[in-house]
Chain A
Amino acid sequence: MPPKTLYQKIWDDHVVWEEPGKPALIYIDRHLIHEGTSPQAFAGLRAEGRKVRRPDLTFAVMDHSVPTKDRTLPILDNDAKLQFEALEKNCRESSVRLFDMNSRHQGIVHIIGPELGITQPGQTIVCGDSHTSTHGAFGTLAFGIGTSEVEHVLATQCLVQARSKTLHILVNGKRPKGVTAKDIILTIIGKIGIAGGTGHVAEYGGEAIRALSMDGRMTVCNMSIEGGARAGMVAPDDTTFAYLEGRAFVPRGKAFQEAVERWNQLRTDDSAQFDMTVELQAEQIAPQVTWGTNPGMVTSVTARVPDPREFKDPNDQKATESALKYMGLKPGTPIVDIPVDRVFIGSCTNSRLDDLRAAANLVAGKHVAKNVKQALIVPGSRGIKSQAEKEGLDKIFREAGFEWRDAGCSMCIGMNADVLPPHERSASTSNRNFEGRQGKDSRTHLVSPVMAAAAAIAGHFVDVREFDVAHVE
């Protein structure tokens, strides 16, 4: 057999039907749905008299518009309420499992999939959400789809897909103190550009990736789409298996051992060829801060806001000018001189236990700066929230002046009440700094959880490596 990449192995294992020169019909092992992109898909099924083929492989959760404050109160946003009701009705009628907003397992779809062990190596996973790439951290082929494709998967448990090209991203060496998975992926996006991975599925490897926890690997894979790659993956290893063992949907005992044996085969063959390879040295990565209106507009915390004239391409010059205008920034401003109005630690990128622990460790005994109007901690799931509370993290955050909220997408997308007001500036651990992403005319700077925590305390961006050396991992 010719050598194959991990992607090619999973792909080949899922081809249901294929004709030469045409896209294949591939099988989908897990279909995750949420209130935002599924109502039209169910309506489409209904209009055609079609049924959900595999409700047992379909998992629904409310996350995008859920309130993160008191959930016993009525939902004031009528449109959101109608969407929740539609999801509930659709799931009930189709016998699809629903983690509604009162379920103790509720959380952001890409957080609870792995947390409950719904996500397992070797699977194909889709969801009507571009950050589905997160699940690739387990050696799955996971990617976002549109609502028409959601409808297609509901009806057939399959998807029509053409093979992607393969991109190998190697992060060699050891990650320095204060540099996190978020800084690694932001550096990658800065290097390849936000369209660098278009048409490709990325596989991350190298010592610095192998050394990451599952939480860290998920952060990296999550933002693959911000580099244009629809999916990103990491081959499963002992770290993966240790994470999965004992989780709700993961097989137990002998069945688990057999699964691990199969999962161990999921790696790129030594002589397999990638269409493109990118290499980075972890030692050279510094904490990152975005300054513009897409995740590729990023630089080190030690750097300055760039001058549009530094760019050769006239399109880049224009884009930079427009981004700086939107962001209210002057070229040449040191990143550490940029003040922040609000801090958001949350989202499917950075709201897992590792993230919360690292941030709590940094803020313990300190207090949010006076100029910071709000500092939000939004755990990715109720499971994470409850574990964090067991560890006393909520107390640390509250004492430091942070708000401790319930689980959901929150200020990453601002579909609930957690909106960044016009012209205000955030230090945010989320994934997109697009215009208006967190709120109309709002200004987003993407950073790691420890960088966000440090900015909350200092009131402006700081180099976390110098800020509090004793409490930086």
Chain B
Amino acid sequence: MQPFATHTGLVAPLDRVNVDTDQMVPKQFLKALTREGFGRILFYDWRYLPGEKPNPEFVLNFPRYKGASVLLARANFGCGSSREHAPWGVKDYGFRVIIAPSYADIFYNNCFKNGILPATLPEEQVEELFQRTEKEEGYSLTVNLPNQTIADKHGLMFKFEIAPSRKEVLLKGLDDIGTSMQQAAAIDAYEKAHASTATMYDPVDVKYYSNGR
């Protein structure tokens, strides 16, 4: 996974609470077999009019936010479905950082699997960033993960909190699976110790399709 250290980029404001993952990637795009190409359809129903004509009223279609890589959002961002297609779309669109007062658990977790930094700031600070983004065309922010700061070029600087383990994953671009597989001996030992408990019974008496097994 692509490591994350610092990032400077144009800010796009999505002024709406409780943005759910159904809005980011609607159901008709869940039939894919790969993780690629979700940027084009991110926020599909909001972003496009019939015939995939860009909806001029949707904020990401405003010329001034073209090329944005920092997404400014409101509370409970990413609620609902666990679909990882949502962060795949966010990333593929070009966002590397999301700034919001809060996130839904599963979406938050999924961001870290994809090298996206979901930074959390208090409501008032997020509000301040919304106002500055609105006021100044080309408003950009520099997000420094090692120092846990978000700064603009006018001297504004906010500090954000992030769990040290989450920070490490992004900084090093860690592959979770590889890291966990280093604990193979512990997993083996757990399986051995729990082989006879109630949760581990072998299935009995069922007919099933198992493709020849």
Contacts and interface: CB of A to CB of B under 8 A. Distances in A.
A36 interface: yes
Contacts of B183: 16-17, 25, 158
Given A252-B204, A413-B27, A432-B80, A151 B177 contact: yes
B137 interface: no
Contact of A436 (B30, B32, B45, B104): B45
A357 interface: no
B82 A160 contact: no
Interface string A161-199: 010000000000000000000000000000000110011
Contacts of A415: 27-28, 30-31
Contact of B18 (A95, A103, A160, A195): A195
A428 interface: no
B147 interface: no
B76 A198 contact: yes
Contact of A36 (B18, B30, B103): B30
Nearest to B76: A195
B117 to A, nearest CB: 16
A190 to B, nearest CB: 14
Interface stretch (A81-89, A346-354, A398-406): A81-89
Contacts of A40: 32-35, 84
A82 B74 CA distance: 37
B75 interface: yes
A237 interface: no
17 contacts: A17-B183, A25-B186, A25-B187, A36-B31, A37-B82, A39-B33, A53-B187, A83-B33, A95-B210, A99-B209, A148-B176, A155-B181, A160-B176, A160-B179, A198-B104, A432-B22, A436-B26
Per DSSP, are chain A's interface residues mostly helix, strand or loop, or mixed? loop
A152 B79 contact: no
Nearest to A121: B198
A43 interface: yes
A262 interface: yes
Nearest to A432: B80
B109 A146 contact: yes
Given A95-B213, A437-B27, 10 more contacts: A29-B200, A86-B33, A147-B35, A149-B113, A160-B180, A225-B106, A250-B201, A318-B17, A440-B26, A440-B45
A281 to B, nearest CB: 27
B212 interface: yes
Interface string A189-216: 0000011001100000000000000000
Interface in A255-305: 255, 258-259, 262-263, 294
B20 interface: yes
Interface stretch (A123-131, A365-373, A463-471): A123-131
B198 A27 contact: no
Given A144-B106, A149-B109, A259-B198, A88 B211 contact: yes
A390 interface: no
Interface in B170-211: 176-177, 179-181, 183, 186-187, 190-191, 194, 197-211
Contacts of A79: 31-32
B84 A37 contact: yes
Contact of B204 (A48, A128, A249): A249
Contacts of A36: 30-31, 83
Interface in B84-113: 84, 87, 102-106, 109-110, 113
B44 to A, nearest CB: 9
B63 interface: no
Interface of A: 16-17, 21-23, 25, 27, 29, 36-37, 39-40, 43, 48, 50, 53, 56, 64-65, 77, 79-80, 82-83, 86, 88, 91-92, 95-100, 102-105, 116, 118, 120-123, 128-130, 144-149, 151-152, 155-158, 160, 162, 194-195, 198-199, 225-226, 228, 230, 248-252, 255, 258-259, 262-263, 294, 315-316, 318-319, 322, 413-415, 432, 434-437, 440-441
Given A98-B210, A251-B201, A156 B181 contact: yes
Contact of A194 (B76, B103, B213): B76
A262 B199 CA distance: 10
A99 B201 contact: no
A437 B17 contact: no
B31 A435 contact: no
Nearest to A42: B33
A348 B104 CA distance: 21
Contacts of A434: 20, 22-23, 80
A64 to B, nearest CB: 7
B103 to A, nearest CB: 8
A472 B205 CA distance: 37
B82 A29 contact: no
Contact of A228 (B79, B200, B201): B79
B81 interface: yes
Contacts of B110: 146, 148-149
Contacts of A262: 197-198
A56 to B, nearest CB: 7
